[in-house]
Structure 1
Amino acid sequence: MIPDYDYLIVGAGFAGMVLAERLGSVGKRCLIVDKRDHIGGNCYDRKDNHGIRYHVYGPHYFRTNSTSVRTYLSRFTEWREVSYRVRVFTKGKHWSFPVNLQTFRQLTDNTEATEADFKAYLEKNAQSITNPANAKEAILAVVGEELYNLFYAGYTAKQWGRPPEQLDASVTRRIPIRTNADDRYFQDEFQALPREGYTSLFERMLEASGAELLLNTDYRSVRANAHFGHTIYTGPLDEYFDCRWGTLPYRTLRFELEEHLADQNGFIQPALQINHPGPESFTRTVELKHITGQQGSWTNIVREFPSEYKAGQSEPYYPVPGADSQSLAQRYRDLANKELAVTFVGRLAEYRYLNMDQVVGGALHVFDKMNVARNTA
């Protein structure tokens, strides 16, 4: 029987949309299904009541060192190049972050402190841990107890819902530490936002794909009533298999949008993102206006509250990196490898912490492999 569609694509985020566009470019008929009422996945953005853009599901700071990823996405958007800057609010003041020479000067109350002074401090305070076994040890091995307690311990535990000792070392290794005064959060060659927002980018990708789109739809209901040659799945890995081995651990998030009259500089907080490692129930506030270039007397912040994930009741945002979760995830990956008519791609479907450019690059790679398989069949 000839299938109604060549591909069913579950999820309208980056992984699903890249593959829809690429498959559409070679004449494949695709149906994209998403349970939400919009495309773009967690990258979805929109404007508030005063026309100020915000990221609905928390900040998405695009950056990449991949020329191919940048070239591909540039077909669907112009860019606004930016630098992402973060501060930490603790002990009554805003600290430069990630940890750098400016942070050390604040810590020592010495504006004349040099890079050599900071290196000497780190050498004295860093703990001798050759192979850090967890997120706590990964930081202690570099900066020592004082800075760990000031910036990392509370935030990490609050963000992930478990003590840093129970998290993989990669959680804190991702955060840069510099002895110079460079306070940029990232150092990727290309750092930018889509000039008209992520939603516009996705709308252009959808148009280019020629795919049909169903929103507010569970893919299982579609699968039961149509025929597909192949399925591309970007949802939670364990849910595809009805949590056969139990639920994989994720963290979920709740977001609160606040609209405010801006100060004389056009903002309400001193930087794009403020981290809160203290006892507050939220982890950070983000004022996207710092990097969108929008003007006006109003601004907004999005306050982010992490909480425990409950399958079927909350959205999974972050796979929790730990030995227990990876062991369980591998059992599900083994099942996925046996699903020859399904391709699992993206952060949730692979149960991996992936940045946006890695998701895009991964989807492009999957498409290339599909072409090879098709051409040699």
Structure 2
Amino acid sequence: MSIQIKTTDILIVGSGFSGCVIARELAASGHNVIIIDKRNHIGGNAYDSYDQNGLLIHNYGPHIFHTNSERIFKYLSNFTEWRPYEHRVLSVVNGEQYPFPINRDTLNQLYNLNLNEIEAAKYLERVREPREKIRTSEDVVLNSVGIDLYEKFFLNYTKKQWGVDPSQLKAGVAARIPVRTNTDDRYFTDEYQAMPLRGYSKMFESMLSHPNIELKIGVSFSDVKSTYSDHHVVYTGPIDEYFNYCFGKLPYRSLRFEHEHFTNTDKLQSVGTINYPNDYEYTRITEFKHLTGQQHSGSSTVKEYPQSDGDPYYPIPNDANEAIFKRYETLAKNENNVTFVGRLAQYRYYNMDQVVGAALSASEKLIDRFKN
């Protein structure tokens, strides 16, 4: 005997990865879903569009999909075809471009050496500054590569990106960046590395293409909260905003984007992204044709300028901010008719695949709950 699922009306706040995945899963289970977004488009920060020159760009900075999860890759494959793409990054130090993350070629080029893999490992072992306890991002890097590489590649980039010294960030931020003794110059080494063939926005459109989903863009939660008071709410926005900042604002890092187009230019850069850790106010320049594979007579780029004010992009991971979040999390646990999920709602520095995983998990729990 099959279990009859009771249809539930659901309001989803935010149409990024979290909101779109949950909307699709709940709609496919027979629930009526309304998804809103205060912006005038879907996709959250992963939104992409064609600029006035006809080039597909990522409006809110580069989003490179990578995962080791076959389940997540197969799930997203229901909504998009893929273009295989392995991201590569160079970092500019003293006017020269070096492979980044640091690998054996970086060491050889920087220090005019000719190390093999074993010698590169011995070199790093010799220059590293061992830390008995790894508490901060500074500890991670010094423990791995020592002071010179730390100062050349990490210190100033981190200060620009996060607005604080690496010693004030949790270890997990720097731990995301590997150090290699081989010559692998890929930024990621995940099993699945690819870009949505027709872009992220088309993928999200496919996710939301279901008769049980109603989309409303340009709509803020505060404007419709009372209208949908009988709906279960899936909230993917900033958790502190939901509770009217009663414990104060959680610190987020924002970004300003400077998009540029260059005519009659095949490619400006040899790789997708070039980092500028020690020069300029921006952190990096990304050239989109590398990511998309698009053929075009010109090329479009984006420079990223980190800043404190503006839309929230990155939760700032340190103990003080985590303590504030825990207070909000306690309130969230008492909101029986609200599910909080996503980078901003859970104050977590998630990758895209981690967001999808969290959204699928939340969807499963909600479907089981609504059965009862």
| TM band (smaller chain) | over 0.9
Displacement of 1:296 after TM fit? Answer: 2.0
Pair 1:299-2:299 in alignment:
yes
Which residue does 2:102 correspond to in 1? 99
How far apart are the structure 2 equivalents of 1:368 and 1:292? 33
Paired letter, 2:107: F
How far apart are the structure 2 equivalents of 1:120 and 1:298? 45
* Conservation of the 8 A alpha-carbon contact between 1:84 and 1:186: yes
* Conservation of the 8 A alpha-carbon contact between 1:22 and 1:209: no
Pair 1:333-2:329 in alignment:
yes
Paired letter, 1:130: E
Pair 1:217-2:212 in alignment:
no
Pair 1:12-2:12 in alignment:
no
SS in 2 for 1:214: strand
SS in 2 for 1:348: coil
Displacement of 1:159 after TM fit? Answer: 0.2
Which residue does 2:319 correspond to in 1? 323
Pair 1:127-2:133 in alignment:
no
1:359 equivalent among 351, 355, 360: 355
* Conservation of the 8 A alpha-carbon contact between 2:29 and 2:367: no
Displacement of 1:69 after TM fit? Answer: 1.0
* Conservation of the 8 A alpha-carbon contact between 1:87 and 1:97: yes
Which residue does 1:347 correspond to in 2? 343
SS in 2 for 1:296: coil
Residue range with higher mean Cα deviation, 58-67 or 112-121: 112-121
1:244-283 equivalent positions in 2, closer than 5 A: 244-261=246-263, 263=265, 266-283=266-283
Which residue does 1:308 correspond to in 2? 308
Per-residue Cα deviation, 1:267-302 (whole angstroms, up to 9, x for no partner): 011210011111411011111211311112200110
Displacement of 1:374 after TM fit? Answer: 2.6
How far apart are the structure 2 equivalents of 1:9 and 1:373? 17
Pick closer, same or farther for the CA change 1:209–1:239 going to 2, 3 Å: farther
2:236 equivalent among 234, 237, 241: 234
SS in 1 for 2:209: helix
Displacement of 1:48 after TM fit? Answer: 1.7
Which residue does 1:182 correspond to in 2? 184
How far apart are the structure 2 equivalents of 1:209 and 1:24? 8
* Conservation of the 8 A alpha-carbon contact between 1:5 and 1:31: no
How far apart are the structure 1 equivalents of 2:308 and 2:171? 21
How far apart are the structure 1 equivalents of 2:121 and 2:24? 49
1:368 equivalent among 356, 364, 367: 364
Paired letter, 2:17: F
SS in 1 for 2:218: coil
Which residue does 1:42 correspond to in 2? 45
Displacement of 1:209 after TM fit? Answer: 5.9
Residue range with higher mean Cα deviation, 328-337 or 62-71: 62-71
Residue range with higher mean Cα deviation, 247-256 or 127-136: 127-136
SS in 2 for 1:188: coil
How far apart are the structure 2 equivalents of 1:355 and 1:120? 32
Per-residue Cα deviation, 1:75-129 (whole angstroms, up to 9, x for no partner): 110000110000001201111110001101111223x321122112111110120
Displacement of 1:30 after TM fit? Answer: 1.0
Consecutive unaligned residues of structure 1, counting only runs of 5 or more, are none
How far apart are the structure 2 equivalents of 1:152 and 1:291? 24
Paired letter, 1:12: S
How far apart are the structure 1 equivalents of 2:248 and 2:123? 46
Which residue does 1:65 correspond to in 2? 68
Per-residue Cα deviation, 1:207-239 (whole angstroms, up to 9, x for no partner): 136311111111121122244330000000100
Q: TM-score, normalised by structure 1?
A: 0.94
SS in 2 for 1:119: helix
Per-residue Cα deviation, 1:176-222 (whole angstroms, up to 9, x for no partner): 11000001000100000000000000111111363111111111211
How far apart are the structure 2 equivalents of 1:230 and 1:350? 18
Q: How many residues align?
A: 366
How far apart are the structure 2 equivalents of 1:184 and 1:359? 22
SS in 2 for 1:106: helix
SS in 1 for 2:9: strand
Residue range with higher mean Cα deviation, 182-191 or 288-297: 288-297
Displacement of 1:262 after TM fit? Answer: 5.1
* Conservation of the 8 A alpha-carbon contact between 1:33 and 1:218: yes
SS in 2 for 1:144: helix
CA RMSD of superposed structures (Å): 1.3
Percent identical residues = 45
Residue range with higher mean Cα deviation, 151-160 or 357-366: 357-366
How far apart are the structure 1 equivalents of 2:370 and 2:299? 50
How far apart are the structure 2 equivalents of 1:191 and 1:223? 39
SS in 2 for 1:213: strand
